[in-house]
Structure 1
């Protein structure tokens, strides 16, 4: 013991004080989530909650989104693109292993991409891989991907959670026992309560600062508030009770983090189901909705009105809100023109508070315009089955949180069943275009097309309203993708 430390200790003893060692910073965290994922395989499910647990934490892709939304290298350390834009040669990271100890190499990349684009693929975003013509192994650390036609969004597509790399030995079990290459490995899943992740000791990159992450599932806003106040949950990145944020802001124990998301919140309509196959009826529903009232009433002012399926923070955004402005009288007139006098529609709502609270307000507004609704509150698994898969609905409220996902309107079998040839041509041209100005022009044409066709009612861009213990650092302010990235999180001493 040094002389100075001995002197301090002697003084402390003389004063009757205990000499306490400095307290180490915590290395565990409990993170709140509104929805429990139906499974933990991002290549085999559409639920955003899957990526919220596993993206960047357990699974990784060739590329990834960072906190600013930029596409950056991940399992691919670099790549070369041929002059014709058809061939991407990916150079893979060295020394990567899966959580079961097996080595990652080009075979895994080929398996994952071929599996995602294959005839029997269950990937919810199979369209991301549509232009891939061939995947070739050059050597264990190099993969060549050849496209059938140029796609200016290919590296962007490879950053989605649906494009993560999985191993052929473990892929079939990833729904319940996910095995990836990320800085955390799967620990435990207590259904209806939580999922545990633990630090992967042999991670190839920068190690995580946390040893353990627990994702706790709390759908009720009141329970979410109580859990954060009591310290049972350390952070709630997408807090479901925005009415409580002012209370947290006034409490120095907490930090409130408000940012933007990629979540276009819509009143989705079944375009093939009469009378919603009539554009005048869809337009009437749009004019019956007061967006700002929903933002104020359901989100306590957090949210930005939108008039098409596109994020306002994107440079290519076009403000089309006036095209479907609140006008109950016009809504009634359009219904008359459509020959509709008595109309009752099902309104099936998933669990998030924006949907349940917003749905009640929407039902009241539609009633004022002469449209009755029958509300059914569904659990998440029910919504995925009845609405998303079976298309057994008239109306629903949902936030689409995937990045730059206007391309979903080009899918014939997508749940709102738009299937418009002209829109598909716009998206095909966009995929063939690399010039930034031309891409912006096409993206704006796509926005205008779905607004003109009143495919859905575009409500608001979901704000990211989070709350956390004030000592936690590294949480994302914005959500460029549906993720709770824990890789850079740490506690202040």
Structure 2
């Protein structure tokens, strides 16, 4: 009996120890699988959702509140003329392959990003760089062609992370960064696995390992959460089930905001959308709240311009494009465009597919017929984003504070305004926070008055997590599942 009791106690202790050990790992659900794992050579948000702040780091980084904080650079100085930034790097930083990270790697990474043949998806972030110089192993001097008060902000993007020349050729499938987690495995079509970097230069994360599990079907995502196969789903694809999770004490429902301006994008160079009256008519045909309720089950904040409502510089311009179907019909008649038919191209996300059906109905009510095409992401990228072969499309722009895309005439919605481009140039030359806020307000108003796109809603961040998990981001100031502060409670 005594021996059997000892065995039982030992078994319980082993079981408890195993359960305790499991609490330093986490499985994160994601809707989309990244096409590769190199944030410096791909536009897909899913790349950063896996590697940002976890595997790769930049000179600066975004905090959970959207602030720009030190990362590989512990501090930086700005010259009086605003043309020279001097970054002071942390000492003792190593890449996951054991090589040192120093000023030479910063020079290599930034020169690669702004090179003529760069494949960086956000090459515009680096356009003003004139030279990058390693002053010493821990000091980098960056000279700009014109002052840019947004430069530390630009360096916080996932596209600006620092990579090693020794490993850069294989980053897409075997990413080697400086972050608190190392890449371990990628089972394509299923999951990516990370493990803790025990040689990390900064504060060690509480988690020993993390798995990113790809589940695109909303019903499967719900089942995985309920079964405990997934510990957290930071961007949960089935908002209609959130009330059920709220009623279950095993879970926390985490609702916040994202940088995702969800828009009905219009091809500004394609007739008749090159006529501002037609674009305004479409804007007034849209009932934003009906879309938020019908496509997002009430989760989302109406917007009237391309700017996040949680940003201090936001201007509420929803009244400028208020739902007014009679005005819409009047504008179409004035433009000679009664009986209009337009092509509506929809990418895979549920906000686009569900929202597209609602918008098609709203446009039909004012006399505009739509031909809907449901595209996969690869098709959407080729035909809409690159080919500009579309009339209307719905997409969430999840990059942080990206109103400057309206200064790019070759961008997919093809808005070409010299006044707006001059305004963005002025913003880049301005470092005073209040002056920058005023310019951003003017920019928001300009694109709203030009009815460049139909501004629908700010994408909500609706997440579900095991109630014992703490430290997940409530908001998404960038496309990331930052695990550096995540842990389990008892």
TM-score by length of 1: 0.95
Residue 311 of structure 2, aligned match among 308, 311, 314: 314
Whether 1:491 aligns to 2:483 is no
Deviations 1:173-207 (A, max 9, x none): 22222111111122222222221122222221112
User: Counterpart in 2 of 1:5?
Assistant: none
For these two proteins, the number of residue pairs brought into alignment is 484
User: Counterpart in 2 of 1:455?
Assistant: 452
Does the 8 A contact of 1:219 with 1:351 survive in 2? no
User: Counterpart in 2 of 1:445?
Assistant: 442
| TM alignment of 1:329-348, pairs within 5 A | 329-348=326-345
1:272 Cα deviation (Å)?
A: 1.1
User: Counterpart in 2 of 1:195?
Assistant: 192
User: Counterpart in 1 of 2:114?
Assistant: 117
Instruction: Give the whole-Å Cα distance in 1 for the aligned partners of 2:214 and 2:310.
Output: 29
1:424 Cα deviation (Å)?
A: 0.4
Instruction: Give the whole-Å Cα distance in 2 for the aligned partners of 1:383 and 1:417.
Output: 16
1:454 Cα deviation (Å)?
A: 0.6
Residue 326 of structure 1, aligned match among 308, 323, 327: 323
Instruction: Give the whole-Å Cα distance in 2 for the aligned partners of 1:239 and 1:301.
Output: 14
1:108 Cα deviation (Å)?
A: 0.8
Residue 272 of structure 1, aligned match among 251, 269, 274: 269
Does the 8 A contact of 1:221 with 1:353 survive in 2? no
Choose 374-383 or 66-75, whichever is displaced more. Answer: 374-383
1:19 Cα deviation (Å)?
A: 7.5
Does the 8 A contact of 1:94 with 1:141 survive in 2? yes
3-state SS of paired residue (1:90): strand
Deviations 1:144-166 (A, max 9, x none): 01111211111111101111111
Instruction: Give the whole-Å Cα distance in 1 for the aligned partners of 2:453 and 2:167.
Output: 39
User: Counterpart in 1 of 2:359?
Assistant: 362
1:375 Cα deviation (Å)?
A: 1.5
Residue 12 of structure 2, aligned match among 14, 20, 27: 20
User: Counterpart in 2 of 1:49?
Assistant: 46
3-state SS of paired residue (1:246): helix
Does the 8 A contact of 1:35 with 1:380 survive in 2? no
Whether 1:478 aligns to 2:475 is yes
User: Counterpart in 2 of 1:79?
Assistant: 76
1:435 Cα deviation (Å)?
A: 1.5
3-state SS of paired residue (1:363): helix
Residue 58 of structure 2, aligned match among 56, 61, 68: 61
User: Counterpart in 1 of 2:102?
Assistant: 105
Residue 382 of structure 1, aligned match among 373, 376, 379: 379
Residue 126 of structure 1, aligned match among 102, 123, 126: 123
Whether 1:95 aligns to 2:92 is yes
1:79 Cα deviation (Å)?
A: 1.4
Unaligned runs of at least 5 residues, structure 1: 1-9
Instruction: Give the whole-Å Cα distance in 1 for the aligned partners of 2:110 and 2:313.
Output: 30
Aligned CA RMSD, in angstroms, stands at: 1.8
1:123 Cα deviation (Å)?
A: 1.3
User: Counterpart in 2 of 1:405?
Assistant: 402
Residue 436 of structure 1, aligned match among 429, 433, 441: 433
Deviations 1:384-412 (A, max 9, x none): 22221222221111111111111111112
1:471 Cα deviation (Å)?
A: 1.0
3-state SS of paired residue (1:397): strand
Instruction: Give the whole-Å Cα distance in 2 for the aligned partners of 1:270 and 1:176.
Output: 35
Does the 8 A contact of 1:257 with 1:466 survive in 2? yes
Instruction: Give the whole-Å Cα distance in 1 for the aligned partners of 2:210 and 2:11.
Output: 32
Instruction: Give the whole-Å Cα distance in 2 for the aligned partners of 1:349 and 1:492.
Output: 41
